[in-house]
Amino acid sequence: MPENKEDNKVNIVEIDNYSLNINYIVVDIKITTRDDKPVPQYEASITNISETTKIILEKIRQEFVTRVDFEQMEKNEDKDSADIKSRFEGEIRKLINKYFPKTDEKTMNMLTNYLIEENLGLGKIEILLNDPNLEEIVINNHTEPVWAYHRKHGWTQTNISIPSEARIRHYATMIGRDVGKEITTLNPLMDAHLMTGDRVNATLTPISSKGNTITIRKFATDPWTITKFINSKTISLEGAALIWLAIQNELSILVAGGTGSGKTSMLNACANFFPPNQRILSIEDTRELTLPKNLHWVPLETRLANPEGKGGVSMLDLVINSLRMRPDRIIVGEIRRQKEAEVLLEATITGHSVYGTFHANNAEEVIMRMTNPPINIPKPMISSLGLILVQNRNRRTGKRRTLQIAEIMPTGDVNIIMQLNPRKDCIERKNNSITMIETLKLYTGMSQEEIDLDLKQKMYILKWMIDNKIEEVDDIGEVMAKYYMGRLKLERK
């Protein structure tokens, strides 16, 4: 039951609580609402290390710092972070034995991990990185608490703070060093990623006038799938079946939406419908997609140039190269520039199926942005795309929904097939499909009745997966493989 108490006349209501086990360290998470705070409060507390032990650990940490030449360690480019941690683990263990001589191995491991993260990791930020319920972690400066975007509760303010601007800068430098990037006064902006795949953006003052910043978008270890989307009311059974029909018949799809609307998550869900007998290439700046393991999938990543301007591999480089790798389907993390759009649309015309994301708030805006500078694609050329899916996030409620499913007419205009009804919170049929259905009839020979029957069958299979709690990406991949091989038997688990 939620806890409701008076604390100095401030009403505090506990709305969520759970525990994390991070390298033997037990962390209790409590989320509360307070009358005097505009957003929920995210409180993390380590429960299996007493306050007295923490004081002694801080003494050990300071002694460790005096023994280690961190500046020389950072200059040693031959060592990655794992090597560095391994080198100093023995030193930390000696210090723990000095202050806690009768420590058992389990406690030794816990205290060692705690000190390693405090000295060589990201400190208390590691707690947030290990919380699967968080999507985004934001450090704005050292004077205010760290913020975190919670899947269930939206933006929350944590009880974790960074002690100084120098520490924030140290974290940014450390993150960049691990992936061969640097952030300096002359280069105060950095896009990088953690070894876990989490995306990182960092800025240094005075570019960010209130202080140094770090923004971490977490890699989804538990990726969104089509059944999770249906369960969360992001999309309907009918909408998902329509997407499946398009993907099965190799129509190209562009997923549009604003920042944080779930474009990449929807792209990942669309990939659930790929058949296992086709070669799939994905091109991203940072790996975010997670496809079923039974697919013939080759993930590719861009690379920024080094400080001397050498070694860069752009999105366009990879798109052009991918066409020489005999792909059946090409997934592009995000289409930003004219050349990328031109090459991808040429690929659709030459028989490849292309899937990508694009920044636009609705289907009409997709066409407007694609056909005007700086992208400036001729309007009729866009008709080689099959569908536009538009994702939307209501910033007031935090709900993510599919706003529109639209097809592109031969003229380059859009016909909206399904659209979100915000009052009913569901996506509804708006217009009958014209181009997509005619294309299916042309290339498959199916009649309208057969297409309608196929959609109903797909809705039935999706409902069966939901009823049988088939939600994980690899499990859905197995169902799809059996479907395409004609071996799917819908038996209740």
Q: What is the pLDDT of residue 237?
A: 97
Give the pLDDT score at 285: 84
- The pLDDT, as a whole number, for residue 424 is 94
**Whether pLDDT at 493 is above 60:** no
**Confidence label for 222 from pLDDT (cuts 50, 70 and 90):** confident
287 domain-assigned: yes
The yes-or-no verdict on residue 136 having pLDDT over 60 is yes
Domain count within the chain: 1
Cα 50 to chain center, whole Å?
A: 35
Which residues does 486 contact at the CB level (< 8 Å), separation at least 6? none
Check pLDDT > 90 for residue 50.
Answer: no
* Cα–Cα distance for residue pair 493/104, rounded to 1 Å: 44
Contact (CB, 8 A) for 127 and 22 = yes
pLDDT confidence of residue 445 = 95
76 — pLDDT class (breaks 50, 70, 90)? low
pLDDT at residue number 84: 60
Q: Which two tokens stand for residue 349?
A: 């015309």
The verdict on residue 145 lying in a domain is no
pLDDT at 95: 83
Residue 308 lies in a domain: yes
Does an H or E element contain 72, and which?
helix 70-75
CB neighbour list of residue 290: distance below 8 Å, 6 or more residues apart: 220, 223, 268, 473
Residue 351 counted as domain residue: yes
233-262 pLDDT, tens digit each = 999 999 999 999 999 999 999 999 998 899
Q: Going by C-beta distance under 8 Å and a sequence separation of 6 or more, which residues neighbour residue 465?
A: 227, 471, 476, 479
What is the rounded CA–CA span in Å between residue 352 and residue 77?
A: 42
Structural domain includes residue 212: no
Give pLDDT tens digits for 275-316: 999 999 999 987 889 999 999 999 998 887 777 778 889 999
339-396 tens-digit pLDDT: 889 988 888 988 899 999 999 999 999 999 999 999 999 998 899 999 999 999 998 8
Residue 4: CA count within 13 A, CB half-sphere: 3
Q: What is the pLDDT of residues 423-474, one digit of tens each?
A: 999 999 999 999 999 999 999 999 999 999 999 999 999 999 999 999 999 9
pLDDT, tens only, 3-42? 555 555 889 999 999 999 988 788 999 999 999 999 999 9
Domain enclosing residue 359, as ranges? 226-484
Within-domain flag for 121: no
pLDDT score for 68: 64
Report residue 250: phi and psi, to 5°: 65, 35
Flag whether 317 is in a domain: yes
Rounded CA-CA distance 189/183 in Å is 6
pLDDT at 194 over 80: yes
CB-based contacts of 254: which residues, under 8 Å, 6+ apart? 335, 355, 356, 357, 358, 366, 385, 387, 388, 389
What gap in Å lies between CA 144 and CA 15, rounded to an integer? 23
What local confidence, expressed as pLDDT, does residue 77 receive?
46
The whole-chain average pLDDT of the chain stands at 89
Lowest mean pLDDT among 11-20, 39-48, 54-63, 190-199: 54-63
In a domain, 423, yes or no: yes
Task: Provide the CATH number for the domain around residue 297.
Answer: 3.40.50.300
How far is it, in rounded angstroms, from Cα 286 to Cα 489? 38
| Among candidate residues 306, 88, 86, 84, the one with its CA nearest the CA of residue 179 | 306
Question: Which pair of tokens denotes residue 106?
Answer: 């389990």
Number of Cβ atoms within 10 Å of the Cβ of 289 = 19
CA distance 333 to 383: 21
pLDDT at 119: 72
